[in-house]
């Protein structure tokens, strides 16, 4: 993996991300703030509710598929959402965190939750720092998104290192979120050229 822009551009790309969302999609910007503000509450509860899961999905998924996707989230029962997200947020095993959230409903997973939403949940609510695995973010590090645990591990390690490159201590959630916004915006901006 290799960053497709100078690392020094991360702060300015994040600023452009916010300007874009504040001007074009203020409801999405507000939804992101609400989710970030839920971090402590979810950490204390150690699981998501179906309403919080739907809020994550609404933040992640583009508006053209929003309504259909929202219905799929509502196909889950509250207990399954609490159990599966609880397992992902509480497990000490890295593979379990990822795989329990990315299983198909036929294999005991949640309706409407694939790798993108699963990694958004880990990114937003897990005590350890995780990047948010989107096609835009992986494009910004020179890779095509792959939906495998092996790729996920490499991507997590790369992003943690990159988020921490200028610090001597563990990166913070804010540093990881800044990196994620910059990666997403770089690719989105590049696609608009």
* pTM of the predicted structure, to 2 decimals: 0.92
Hey, what are 180's tokens?
A: 């994620």
Burial of residue 6 (CB within 10 Å: 0-12, 13-18, 19+) is exposed
Distance, CA of 156 to CA of 90 (rounded, Å): 18
With 0-12 / 13-18 / 19 or more C-beta atoms within 10 angstroms meaning exposed / middle / buried, residue 36 is middle
Domain ranges of the chain: 7-192
Rounded-to-10 torsion of CA 1, 96, 81, 36 = -40
Per-residue pLDDT of the chain (193 residues; tens, 9 = 90+): 999 999 999 999 999 999 999 999 999 999 999 999 999 999 999 999 999 999 999 898 864 455 555 668 889 999 999 999 999 999 999 999 999 999 989 899 999 998 889 999 999 999 999 999 988 899 999 988 777 899 999 999 999 999 887 565 667 899 999 999 999 999 988 777 6
pLDDT at 64: 45
């Amino acid at each position: 993996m290799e960053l497709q822009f100078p690392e020094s551009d991360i702060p300015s790309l994040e600023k452009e991300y916010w300007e874009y969302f504040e001007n074009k999609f203020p409801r999405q910007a507000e939804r992101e703030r609400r989710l970030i503000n839920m971090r402590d509450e979810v950490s204390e509860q150690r699981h998501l509710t179906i309403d919080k899961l739907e809020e994550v999905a609404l933040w992640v998924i583009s508006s053209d598929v929003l309504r259909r996707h929202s219905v799929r989230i509502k196909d889950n029962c509250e207990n399954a959402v609490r159990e599966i997200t609880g397992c992902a947020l509480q497990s000490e095993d890295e593979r379990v965190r990822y795989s329990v959230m990315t299983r198909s409903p036929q294999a005991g997973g949640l309706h409407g939750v694939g790798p993108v939403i699963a990694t958004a949940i880990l990114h937003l609510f897990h005590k350890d720092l995780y990047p948010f695995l989107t096609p835009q973010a992986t494009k910004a590090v020179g890779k095509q998104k792959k939906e495998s645990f092996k790729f996920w591990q490499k991507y997590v390690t790369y992003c943690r290192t990159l988020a921490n490159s200028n610090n001597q201590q563990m990166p913070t959630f804010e540093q990881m979120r800044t990196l994620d916004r910059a990666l997403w915006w770089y690719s989105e901006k590049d696609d608009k050229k």
